[in-house]
């Protein structure tokens, strides 16, 4: 199993301008850094996974709070998009696969063409069902790219079920291309696709390794 519902939970019908203004109010993207952020991340993760129907359950790896805590404590990243009321409404993980504490990386095609120490992995992409059609998935991709570039990474890698067409389209539209053919990772029970986006490493280190809960990566207004 892997980590990309990426807007696969039921979405509302097309929003009117009034509804868009109500639902898609300005948001803030922040790194998760403390117990409050961890709890908010888990609450949203449970909402997203609970809203997947039975045919989509394999689209997302069910995480526990201990999983995410270990991810953060090992120096990896969690990103949350927050509404003005402080509720987390979109989320993603960024793992550095050459570091300890990275999980759910079985079958990833790291090697000469995709060096593990030059790659980052985006996982657990999810948006609250009440906040679909607001461009939040794209904003998660942007924030994850910033994190990876500032870690000096040249590739961002995503894994998804080969029949998760909505997620595949979202990543493809963001500049990801498929790396090789579909593969059956042992133990998954379905075929997966690996998608890769090339990055330009930055290494300007403006994102601190010691997380600041008020660190803002992006402020998102109306399109």
Q: At what angle do helices 165-173 and 136-150 cross, to 10 degrees?
A: 60
The CATH number fitting domain 17-207, selected from 3.40.630.30, 3.30.70.120, 3.10.270.10, 3.50.50.60: 3.40.630.30
**Is the confidence at residue 4, as pLDDT, over 90?**
no
pTM of the model: 0.81
Mind spelling out the 3-state secondary structure of 28-67?
EEEECCCHHHHHHHHHHHHHHHHCCCHHHHHHECCCCHHH
Instruction: Render pLDDT for 81-120 as a digit per residue (tens, 0 to 9).
Output: 999 888 999 999 999 999 998 888 888 999 999 999 999 9
Cβ atoms of 191 and 184 within 8 Å: the answer is: yes
Tens digits of residue pLDDT in 132-150: 888 999 999 999 999 999 8
Find the mean pLDDT for residues 166-173: 92
Domain boundaries, the chain: 17-207
């Amino acid at each position: 199993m892997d980590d990309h519902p990426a807007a696969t939970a039921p979405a509302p019908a097309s929003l009117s301008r009034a509804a868009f203004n109500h639902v898609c109010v300005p948001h803030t993207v922040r790194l998760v850094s403390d117990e409050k952020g961890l709890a908010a991340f888990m609450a949203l993760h449970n909402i997203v996974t609970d809203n997947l129907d039975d045919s989509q359950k394999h689209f997302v790896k069910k995480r526990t709070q201990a999983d995410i805590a270990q991810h953060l404590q090992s120096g990896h990243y969690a990103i949350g998009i927050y509404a003005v009321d402080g509720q987390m409404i979109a989320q993603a993980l960024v793992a550095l696969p050459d570091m300890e504490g990275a999980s759910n990386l079985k079958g990833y095609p790291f090697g000469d063409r995709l060096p593990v120490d030059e790659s980052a992995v985006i996982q657990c992409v999810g948006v609250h069902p009440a906040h679909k059609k607001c461009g939040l998935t794209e904003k998660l991709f942007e924030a994850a790219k910033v994190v990876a570039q500032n870690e000096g990474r040249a590739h961002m890698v995503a894994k998804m079920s080969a029949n998760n067409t909505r997620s595949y389209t979202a990543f493809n539209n963001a500049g990801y291309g498929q790396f090789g053919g579909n593969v059956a990772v042992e133990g998954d029970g379905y075929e997966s696709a690996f998608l890769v986006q090339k990055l330009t490493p930055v290494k300007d280190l403006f994102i601190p390794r010691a997380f600041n809960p008020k660190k803002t990566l992006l402020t998102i207004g109306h399109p």
